[in-house]
Amino acid sequence: MRSVSIFGATGSIGESAFDLLMQSGGAESWQVRALTGGRNIARLAEMALALRAEIAVTAFPELERDLREALAGSGIECTAGPDAIVAAADRDADWTLSGIVGAAGLPPGLRVLERGGTLALANKETLVAAGRLVMGTAARTGARILPVDSEHSAIFQCLNGENIENVEAITITASGGAFRDWPLERLETATVEQASTHPNWAMGQRITIDSASMFNKSLEIIETKEFFGINPDRIKVLIHPESIIHAMVTHRDGGSIAHLGAPDMRHAIGYALHWPERAELPVPKLDLAAMGQLSFRAPDETRWPALRLAREVMAAGGAAGAVLNGAKEQALDDFLAGRIRFTDMARAVESALDDLTGQPGFATSPTDLATVLDWDQSARQAAAGWAARHGGR
Ligand code: NAD
Ligand code: MG
């Protein structure tokens, strides 16, 4: 029986993974080691009981008692706090899903790689903030990373059996998010509620807002560079409102291989779960005839400065990825709290990058976790500083 752990089990990615495990035999077919979550203790406990997990961990120490009460008499271990999450990543699972949102996903994911495990990576922040460290650790220990972000799973599938040396371009698609068709001047007034609805994908609130601002695509461009080791000039973004083609690889002989599928994360998660096999998955099958047509357009960098920032970050290298990610997370917190406007998020991130570029060590890609987290903190402070100076307008 294969053993699995799910980090961020109670989130959107985690729920999809839970569904896949339950639909393929549950505790009878899978040995579930660790499940981790945040504030939703009732759901975490319910999942742990259903899958007979060895251990359940909440990120919040003040909730440990609630978790213990919810799992009393079950024999399931309970722990809490960021260190407990990292310790749970040390448990020897054959397959671990990194479905935590934000830079908080980096320490446990890195721990899985340090012990040479297999990491199914939905947490794109891991590669954006610490690409060199993460890929270097995997190379050193022989750990395997299986991409779970839909575009990266698609690229991985398109590259199956191909030589990356022959790749001329990798194109990732973007739906365009909630504000694809809004007049530019209206973007300034976009509310949290408006930014929190996605036209095609059901996802956590943070990634949904990142899709509306295109910071999600910005992170994904960098994720593509870090994971596939491809030159940034060869990475393209295409607006594709239907979200059916997730990515496309163009070879130097002029042939392009695209990956198509319904916008349902259970495909990418399930592909990684069963890799290198393919299994029956509870995912809707495409009916292109019923759909009639697919459409495409070029992205507009005036509408979405986040795309330009991704290019600048890749050109800068060093700690720029960690700064972009940390500043973006802070700017999103500030937007959610009503301190800054939707369009201010890109301004705050750009300002943080400007502030920190040229600081000692910035040009060097961090090769240890503490340095990544230092840059992450500095970036959050710089972005918060921008919000304090310019927010409340
Ligand atoms: P979500 O907000 O729905 O869930 C996040 C999970 O992380 C929850 O279990 C939450 O309890 C946990 N969590 C939150 N803060 C934490 C902390 N500080 N420490 C430990 N755990 C914490 O998010 P999501 O939409 O499932 O996204 C998860 C990750 O997957 C993100 O990195 C996102 O970019 C990526 N991703 C998501 C989708 C999607 O369809 N939702 C698609 C591609 C990639
Ligand atoms: Mg994606």
Report residue 78 as tokens: 């309970």
Give yes or no for residue 72 having a pLDDT over 80. yes
Residue 169: CB atoms within 10 Å: 16
Residue 365, pLDDT score: 98
Ligand 1 near 104 CB (within 6 A): yes
Residue 206, pLDDT score: 97
Distance of alpha carbon 92 from alpha carbon 344, whole angstroms: 43
- The angle, 0 to 180 degrees and rounded to 10, between the axes of the packed helices 215-228 and 125-141 is 10
**Residue 22's domain spans which residues?**
2-147
- The Cβ-side half-sphere exposure at 75, using a 13 Å CA radius, reads 5
Phi-psi region at 81: left, alpha or beta (left = phi > 0; alpha = psi -120 to 50): left
Q: Which atom of ligand 1 is nearest to the CA of 102?
A: 32
Asked which of 112, 129, 147 is the last residue of a domain, the reply is 147
Q: Which atom of ligand 1 is nearest to the CA of 8?
A: 9
Q: pLDDT of 335-377, one tens digit each? A: 999 999 999 999 999 999 999 999 999 999 999 999 999 999 9
Ligand 1 near 129 CB (within 6 A): no
Ligand 2 centroid to Cα of residue 198, in Å, is 13
- CA angle, corner 347, sides to 382 and 201, nearest 5? 105
Report residue 125 as tokens: 């922040």
Q: Tell me what the mean pLDDT of segment 57-86 comes to.
A: 98
Residue 38's nearest CA partner among 102, 93, 90, 92 is 102
Asked which of 147, 176, 206 is the last residue of a domain, the reply is 147
Q: pLDDT of 96-124, one tens digit each? A: 999 999 999 999 999 999 999 999 999 99
Ligand nearest to C-alpha 120: 1
Q: Tell me what the mean pLDDT of segment 252-271 comes to.
A: 98
**For all residues of the chain together, what is the average pLDDT?**
97
Ligand 1 near 137 CB (within 6 A): no
Ligand 2 centroid to Cα of residue 123, in Å, is 10
Confidence of residue 173 (pLDDT cuts 50, 70, 90): very high
Amino acid in the structure at residue 265: M
Do 116 and 171 lie in one domain? The reply is no
Q: Which atom of ligand 1 is nearest to the CA of 85?
A: 20
Do 26 and 139 lie in one domain? The reply is yes
| DSSP secondary structure string for all residues of 66-126 | HHHHHTTTS--EEEESHHHHHHHHTS--SEEEE---SGGGHHHHHHHHHTT-EEEE--THH
Residue 39, pLDDT score: 98
Give yes or no for residue 302 having a pLDDT over 90. no
Give the percent of the chain with pLDDT over 90: 96
Report residue 188 as tokens: 């300034």
Specify the number of domains making up the chain. Answer: 3
The verdict on residue 300 lying in a domain is no
Ligand 1 centroid to Cα of residue 54, in Å, is 22
Report residue 147 as tokens: 């991409």
Ligand 1 near 263 CB (within 6 A): no
Residue 251: strand pairing partners: 167
Intra-chain end-to-end CA distance of the chain, in Å: 57
Ligand 1 near 265 CB (within 6 A): yes
> What is this structure's pTM?
0.98
Ligand 2 centroid to Cα of residue 58, in Å, is 26
The residue count of the chain comes to 393
Ligand 1 near 101 CB (within 6 A): yes
Residue 393, pLDDT score: 66
Do 176 and 123 lie in one domain? The reply is no
Give yes or no for residue 392 having a pLDDT over 80. no
The verdict on residue 298 lying in a domain is no
Q: Which atom of ligand 1 is nearest to the CA of 10?
A: 9
Asked which of 93, 124, 147 is the last residue of a domain, the reply is 147
Q: Which residues contact 209 (CB under 8 A, 6 or more apart)?
A: 192, 195, 196, 332, 335, 336
Residue 301, pLDDT score: 85
Ligand 1 near 269 CB (within 6 A): no
Give yes or no for residue 84 having a pLDDT over 80. yes
Ligand 1 centroid to Cα of residue 146, in Å, is 17
Q: In this structure, what CATH number is given to the domain that contains residue 328?
A: 1.10.1740.10
Helix extents (H) in 159-304: 192-195, 205-213, 215-228, 265-274, 288-291
The verdict on residue 301 lying in a domain is no
Ligand 1 near 108 CB (within 6 A): no
